[in-house]
Amino acid sequence: MNENRYIKSNLKSKKIVWEEEKPIRWSYMKILREFSTLKKEYPVNPYAEVYQMRDNMWAIFTETLDGAGDPWMYLIDGPKKAMLIDTGFGVGDLKGLVKEIVKDKPLIVACTHAHYDHAYGNAQFEEIYCSKCEVQRMNAINNDKIWDYLFDENGKPKWTEFDRNDLIKYQPYKITGVADGHRFDLGDGYEVEAVLLPGHTPGQCGYLDLYNMTLFSGDTSGISKAKPGELCAENCTVLASRNAFKKLQPRFKDITGVFPGHGALDVSSVSLQYHLDACEAILKDPENYDTCKERYMPSTNTTRKILMKNIHQGTAIRYTLDTVR
Ligand SMILES: [Zn+2]
């Protein structure tokens, strides 16, 4: 364990492995988690920290269980319905936590994408929305084997200590794909729009709260290769990411805060332009990257050589030469 990466917390999860993060992200998270007065903890879910970010919107933090980045989930309390964006790893009572905050309001649950840290908590809900392009990957994780990789041969957690009994009980759930631009109705004209922001996965999808004008962008900076023949495989490129951000560009000025799947939140929408700029730079000259590193992918047990192009005032776009176009 890298002792220097330690962040104090009351969470029931205890990290064994700390990822080597960009120093700026790590220091942001340390200050937020150790000192923010926005933070609230609920006994119903000792794996979550809750930060109220708007009058009717909360960011829910949990620690990663697999050594990669700690994910954010978001909860919007609309006039007639509430909406949860992402479901985390599936450890701890997320459903109970949501109920404490929005009471008995009907809940829409939507995922940005089908990765472990954003969608393995799906099985505690009856229906999950996602982009049409993510349905195939979402179906692939709709089973009870998804958590096996978190444990070693003795049944001990490999990256983060947690009580195995606190994993949700698996039950099959319904997956509903929506088109880019689909609007979720939270009542009285309060709408949240699906904004396809692919590249990281084929159907990685942001959600734009049209009332607060907040964008829940998911994971946009790591471009990963699609499997051959996969649904919407053409979306797993820097080019597709660039095209999606370009389409959203006229609305950047109206967005009051960007809330990504990891790291700093309530970020200025200028960051969206900086992401677009970095994509353009890669497309112009893919070999002109800023850094390069070998990265171990715990979910597939492989190591890949990842190129990185810095995003101004942000992290970096991670890509490989075969995911540019
Ligand atoms: Zn992801």
18-22, 68-72, 175-179: least confidently modelled range: 18-22
Is residue 286 situated within a structural domain?
A: no
Is residue 164 situated within a structural domain?
A: yes
Rounded to the nearest whole angstrom, what is the distance from the C-alpha of residue 189 to the centroid of ligand 1? 31
Q: What is the pTM of this model?
A: 0.93
Rounded to the nearest whole angstrom, what is the distance from the C-alpha of residue 296 to the centroid of ligand 1? 14
Rounded to the nearest whole angstrom, what is the distance from the C-alpha of residue 188 to the centroid of ligand 1? 33
Mean pLDDT for the chain? 93
Rounded to the nearest whole angstrom, what is the distance from the C-alpha of residue 78 to the centroid of ligand 1? 26
Is residue 36 situated within a structural domain?
A: yes
Is residue 322 situated within a structural domain?
A: no
Domain that holds residue 77: 3-281
Rounded to the nearest whole angstrom, what is the distance from the C-alpha of residue 223 to the centroid of ligand 1? 9
Rounded to the nearest whole angstrom, what is the distance from the C-alpha of residue 126 to the centroid of ligand 1? 22
Is residue 37 situated within a structural domain?
A: yes
Q: pLDDT at position 4, please?
A: 66
Percent over 90 (pLDDT), the chain: 83
Q: Is the pLDDT of residue 1 over 50?
A: no
Rounded to the nearest whole angstrom, what is the distance from the C-alpha of residue 33 to the centroid of ligand 1? 22
Number of domain units in the chain: 1
- Read off the CATH number of the domain in which 181 is found: 3.60.15.30
Other C-beta atoms closer than 10 Å to the C-beta of 316 total 18
Which residues have CB atoms below 5 A from the ion given as ligand 1? 115, 219
Rounded to the nearest whole angstrom, what is the distance from the C-alpha of residue 261 to the centroid of ligand 1? 8
Rounded to the nearest whole angstrom, what is the distance from the C-alpha of residue 35 to the centroid of ligand 1? 27
How much is the average pLDDT of 293-320? 85
Q: pLDDT at position 17, please?
A: 79
Is residue 139 situated within a structural domain?
A: yes
Rounded to the nearest whole angstrom, what is the distance from the C-alpha of residue 201 to the centroid of ligand 1? 7
Is residue 30 situated within a structural domain?
A: yes
Q: Is the pLDDT of residue 248 over 80?
A: yes
